[in-house]
Amino acid sequence: MEAQVVALFSYEDFIGEITGVVHEVRVQDYYRVRANGSAEWTDYYVELSAERVYPPFGIYVRRFRVGGNPVFDEDRHARNAENARKAVEALRQDLERRRFGVRPGVFVAAKEADVLAAPPWHFEQDEQKLPVLVLDLE
């Protein structure tokens, strides 16, 4: 039987779905470059995914957008990459605290579930008006 991809809309829903049925979570940051009018734009994401390996089979996915910037904006690019790494580390620590194993990577099938929702963090601006990730995790 083929695994079903389940995209969840919040971190709490993701945790609720995998608790007791999954032992390992993949956490990965990445970016995608896309056309945005006449310029190219870079979007940064952090993705959580976990696979249930016994019936009912499923891949659970939670994708967060961390930020975005025009490709030519090197300062914003560096800050968004830093914020994505910070988010990965915070999620890794939270998942390990909840006794999940954590590994890097994403499930290729998870790319089909293109669902975004509010992440467990918000942004504030530093003195250069660049976004700084601030965690809202307990």
* Tokens describing residue 86: 């910070």
Q: Edge-to-edge strands of the sheet including 4-7?
A: 4-7, 58-70, 39-52, 24-36, 101-103
Percentage helix, strand, coil for the chain under 3-state DSSP, each rounded to 5: 25, 40, 30
Contacts of 5 (CB under 8 A, 6+ apart): 58, 59, 61, 107, 109, 110, 112, 113
User: pLDDT above 70 covers what percent of the chain?
Assistant: 88
Q: Of 130 and 97, which is predicted with more confidence? A: 97
Q: Which amino acid is at 35?
A: A
125 C-beta neighbours (distance < 10 Å), count: 9
Residue keyed to tokens 């499923």 = 58
Query: What band does 117 get if pLDDT is binned at 50, 70 and 90?
Result: low
Selection from 117, 88, 90, 97 nearest residue 13 by Cα: 117
Domain residue spans of the chain: 4-135
pTM of the model: 0.76
Mean residue pLDDT of the chain comes to 85
Whether 128 shows a pLDDT value over 60: the answer reads yes
State pLDDT tens for residues 58-99: 889 898 999 999 888 999 989 999 999 999 999 999 999 999
State pLDDT tens for residues 23-53: 999 999 988 888 878 888 899 999 999 998 8
